[in-house]
Amino acid sequence: MKLTYNWLKEFVDLDLAPEALSAKFISLGIEVESLTRLGDFSGVVVGLIEKIEAHPNADKLVYCTVDAGKEKKLNIVCGAKNMKAGDKVPVAVDGAELPGGFKIKHTKLRGLLSEGMLCSSKELGISEEADGLLILPSDAPIGKDITEYLNLKDWLFSLEILPNRPDYLGIIGVARMLSASLKIPLKTPEIEIKKTDGKAASEVKVTIADKELCPRYTARIIKGVKPGASPLLMQLRLKFAGVRPINNIVDVTNYVLLELGHPLHAFDKKLISGNHIIVRRAEKGEKMTTLDGVTRELGADMLVIADEQKAVALAGIMGGNNSEINSSTTEVLLESAFFDAVNIRKTSKTINLSTEASFRFERGMDHEGMIRALDRAAYLLQKYCGGEVCEGIIDIYPEKIKARKITTRFDRVRKLLGTDIPDGEMLGISERLGFKMLAKDKTGFTVEVPSFRVELDREIDMIEEIAQVYGYEQIKERTPLISLTSCIPQTSFEDEVKRALVGRGLYEAVNWSFMAKSWFDKGGFPAGSPLREYPEILNPLTDEWNVMRTTLLPGLLANTTHNVTRFGNRNLRLFEVGKVFLKDSAGKFSEHKNIGIIATGLISDPGWAESPVEADLYYIKGLVESVLASLRVPYELLEGYEGEAYEKGSAVGVSINGKTAGCFGELRRNLLKAFDIKQRVFYSKLEIPSMEAARTGTIKFTHLPKFPAIKRDISFIVRKNITSAAISAYIESLRIKLIEKMTVTAVYEGDNVGKELKSVTFAIVFRSPDRTLTDKEVDDLNNSIIAGAAEKLGAVIRK
């Protein structure tokens, strides 16, 4: 909500400077979005447009002769449309400085010299809307400084009002809180209605057909109004608040809405047929055109204000154009009603129309304060529109809304707040806030909640009220005594996973949980792919994020495109630990925590002393295996694994507890191409829950060996299709108990071994747990391995 400092001062005698007031607002829980000094410009004066001529070189511009009180008339080029010769407008003359530091100088505009600028309210910082030149009253003195003329020595506060304080949606509510907190009196707005002959009750009849949705409806009749422009100050204040001035009658209702927070509506009474207002639900399919010119089809849950023939307003949201105030209006039916908050909110959501009125009604309005708003508006119609207010208020109030009572215990307040606030202070605060004291004793007190505080009905609400006025800075900090819990897990498995990967030189990524449905088509994934079982977002912000991710690959691939393709950082080793989301055929959603790893380019940072090694299948394999081993997760690798994202024949599955719980391999070239990646990329996916479920207990220490080992290298020259696994399987088949460990230490292909062949070197470690082995027995074992190799593997042993 926006209000100015001077306007607020009409309700409470502040002696705080605007900046100090801003701090006060924050301490009262009213967020100050901005504080702007108004009239923060110079060199703008009242000018009279004497003549308007066409601009010879531009259709959209005109050439004006302006009397700005200077020796010489000014020639000014202008693009606005809403003025005519004889109008008075603000003129920024040579040397003027507008808000934002914009300086005005003599300038040639399409060939003609412009000696200044005619200003709109937006250019003077009065409104946010650009709505043509600000036309001033005809008695505005030519040449007068506009800041003085408009009395712009003021400050504009833009306040953010939280949903629990609808009372702050009127200036009076804010003033009331300041009055209680600063202990200064609240001033109520002037209302002096003159006695006239007319009687409201004999003018119009009101029937409430649905008292659930409209518990109270009040109205006044004002006759003899003369539609026209509202006073300049009123127009300015409306503009400051972001409300567009329309005419004096509508402006009065909006002005009172801003002052007192209660929405009002003015009907042209002569357009109400049968002089009968009926508050009823709309017929299903009933149509009405609202003031914004939109014809809307209504539902049976929506409340309308109708006459005997037609709906004339959408209750609490917007009036109808069939009963709109117009230039020939003479009699006004002024409505101040109380509508059900939830119903207004539902209707507003359904028809997607939120207005100043609906915003307030859906937060809950003051069922007593509505009368003062009605009276205040009637008074202003009398004052500014020449209206004569008929005697009496039509007040249809089928069931009086009961005042809420709250009992508060002194000790409870002190216990919950942890302060020693005295009883008397609590009573004083409650009274200053407008609570009516019904009873009090040694233990506590009972108050009646004022009607403008619609959200309060519990002791805790009173505790908060008291605490806010007492001051949160008075709350003394204390550290609670915490009893130790014997067993709290110290690290999560996820933390360990991250540590294992960071420890192996990878960077951690955090990507969006959203992705584009179209990603799967772009990446060439088959139509029936299980990855397409995504939960869809029904109200996505963009098509790029219209489903939840079912795989971590899109994010990591996007990171690869970003770093490798866009920023030329070709060495990338990234991982992410995060959730993927699925929707099953029954429509049930599930979430699964995965690890995604992506590697491309060099596997370690390049430097002068390092020999560059490109990521390959063995990098990702070694990484996955070493991470699984370090996390003590038993696994098996599955040859011939088919993954939709991988190059054919490059992928390996990871089976944990007999279930496929991961994979790794080289990503498809055409997938990479679709995302502008021109180098080989390796990827792995692992499922955290399966890993965590399978992990074995703590680290088990193995005693160090007492006797030395003997090592032998054997180079098997075999056909290329013999795998290293086949060689180790052969060695294992010999069941040599003294083999402690064997590892592949070299693989060689090339001229020295022949075209069809390769050499695979195994380092075999022999050790006995209870004695020192002799060279002779190790040689015998080694020879036994060599002996069978020719027959079993077709191998030749390289010497």
Partner 1 sequence: MEKELEKLAGEIAAAVNAAKTREELEAARVKYLGKKGALTAFFDKLGSLPKEEKPKAGALLNTLRNKADALLGEKAEGLESCSESNALDATLPGRNFSTGRYHPLTIISNEAKEIFKSLNFQIIEGPEIESDYYNFEALNFPPHHPARDMQNSFHLGNGMLLRTHTSPVQVRTMEKQKPPLRMITIGKCYRSDASDQTHTPMFHQIEGLMVDENINFGDLKGILKVFFSRLFEREVNIRFNPSYFPFTEPSVEVSFSCHVCGGSGCSVCKKTGWIEIGGAGMVDPNVFKSIGYDSERWTGFAFGWGIERLAMIKYGINDIRLFPENDLRFLGQFE
- Footprint of partner 1 on residues 506-545 (CB under 8 A)? 506-514, 535-541, 545
Handedness of CA 178, 180, 181, 185 (dihedral sign): positive
Closest separation in Å from C-beta 218 to partner 1: 24
Binding status of residue 504 toward partner 1 by CB under 8 A: yes
- DSSP calls for 132-194: SB-PBPTTPPTT-BHHHHTT---EEEEEEPPTT-GGGGSHHHHHHHHHHHHT--B-PPP--PP
Binding status of residue 350 toward partner 1 by CB under 8 A: no
Q: What are phi and psi of 587, to 5 degrees?
A: 85, 10
Binding status of residue 473 toward partner 1 by CB under 8 A: yes
Binding status of residue 26 toward partner 1 by CB under 8 A: yes
Helix/strand/coil for 339: coil
Nearer CB in complex with partner 1: 50/301: 301
Nearer CB in complex with partner 1: 310/504: 504
Q: What are phi and psi of 121, to 5 degrees?
A: -70, -30
* CA dist., res. 376 & res. 192, Å (int): 8
Burial 418-440 (b: 16+ CB within 10 A, else e): ebebebeebbbbbebbbbeeeeb
How far from the centroid of its chain's Cα atoms is residue 268's Cα? 41
| CB 219 within 8 Å of CB 394 | yes
Closest separation in Å from C-beta 389 to partner 1: 34
Per-position x/- string for 146-165, each x denoting binding to partner 1 as judged by CB under 8 A, each - no binding: ----------------xxxx
Among 477, 751, 775, 791, binds partner 1 (CB under 8 A): 477
Binding status of residue 475 toward partner 1 by CB under 8 A: yes
Closest separation in Å from C-beta 336 to partner 1: 21
| CB 634 within 8 Å of CB 625 | no
* CA dist., res. 54 & res. 112, Å (int): 11
Nearer CB in complex with partner 1: 588/735: 588
List CB contacts of 376: < 8 A, sequence separation 6 or more. 189, 191, 256, 259, 260
> Within positions 650 to 709, which residues make up the interface with partner 1, using CB under 8 A?
none
Stretch that binds partner 1, among 41-49, 554-562, 670-678, 747-755 (CB under 8 A): 554-562
> Within positions 571 to 590, which residues make up the interface with partner 1, using CB under 8 A?
572-574, 578-579, 581, 587-589
Among 441, 488, 702, 799, binds partner 1 (CB under 8 A): 488
Closest separation in Å from C-beta 60 to partner 1: 33
Q: Which helix (H) or strand (E) holds 98?
A: strand 88-98
> Within positions 27 to 56, which residues make up the interface with partner 1, using CB under 8 A?
27-29
Binding status of residue 417 toward partner 1 by CB under 8 A: yes
| CB 112 within 8 Å of CB 124 | no
Nearer CB in complex with partner 1: 547/793: 547
Long-range contacts of 726-730, Cβ-Cβ distance < 8 Å, separation of 24 or more: 726/793, 727/760, 727/762, 727/793, 727/795, 728/762, 730/788, 730/789, 730/792, 730/793
Stretch that binds partner 1, among 275-283, 563-571, 643-651, 673-681 (CB under 8 A): 563-571
Nearer CB in complex with partner 1: 467/731: 467
Total binding residues toward partner 1, as defined by CB under 8 A: 90
Stretch that binds partner 1, among 22-30, 635-643, 665-673, 747-755 (CB under 8 A): 22-30
Binding status of residue 568 toward partner 1 by CB under 8 A: no
> Within positions 260 to 289, which residues make up the interface with partner 1, using CB under 8 A?
none
| CB 665 within 8 Å of CB 682 | yes
Binding status of residue 608 toward partner 1 by CB under 8 A: yes
Q: How many CA within 13 A on the CB side of residue 167?
A: 20
Q: Show the tokens assigned to 342.
A: 């939830």
Nearer CB in complex with partner 1: 548/717: 548
Stretch that binds partner 1, among 61-69, 249-257, 411-419, 733-741 (CB under 8 A): 411-419
Nearer CB in complex with partner 1: 168/525: 168
Q: Is 34 left (phi over 0), alpha (psi -120 to 50) or beta?
A: beta
| CB 297 within 8 Å of CB 286 | yes
Binding status of residue 569 toward partner 1 by CB under 8 A: yes
Distances (CA, A) of 391 to 346, 379, 381, 387, 414: 36, 12, 14, 12, 51
Stretch that binds partner 1, among 37-45, 125-133, 559-567, 646-654 (CB under 8 A): 559-567
> Within positions 58 to 97, which residues make up the interface with partner 1, using CB under 8 A?
none
Binding status of residue 472 toward partner 1 by CB under 8 A: yes
* CA dist., res. 569 & res. 590, Å (int): 36
Closest separation in Å from C-beta 343 to partner 1: 9
Look at the block and give the residue holding tokens 């619609």: 454
Nearer CB in complex with partner 1: 15/473: 473
Per-position x/- string for 370-409, each x denoting binding to partner 1 as judged by CB under 8 A, each - no binding: ----------------------------------------
Q: Which helix (H) or strand (E) holds 95?
A: strand 88-98
* CA dist., res. 315 & res. 437, Å (int): 35
Among 285, 293, 480, 640, binds partner 1 (CB under 8 A): 480
Q: Is 793 left (phi over 0), alpha (psi -120 to 50) or beta?
A: alpha
Closest separation in Å from C-beta 164 to partner 1: 5
Among 80, 460, 753, 796, binds partner 1 (CB under 8 A): 460
Binding status of residue 207 toward partner 1 by CB under 8 A: no
Distances (CA, A) of 10 to 7, 170, 244, 287, 400: 5, 13, 22, 43, 32
Closest separation in Å from C-beta 489 to partner 1: 8
Binding status of residue 782 toward partner 1 by CB under 8 A: no
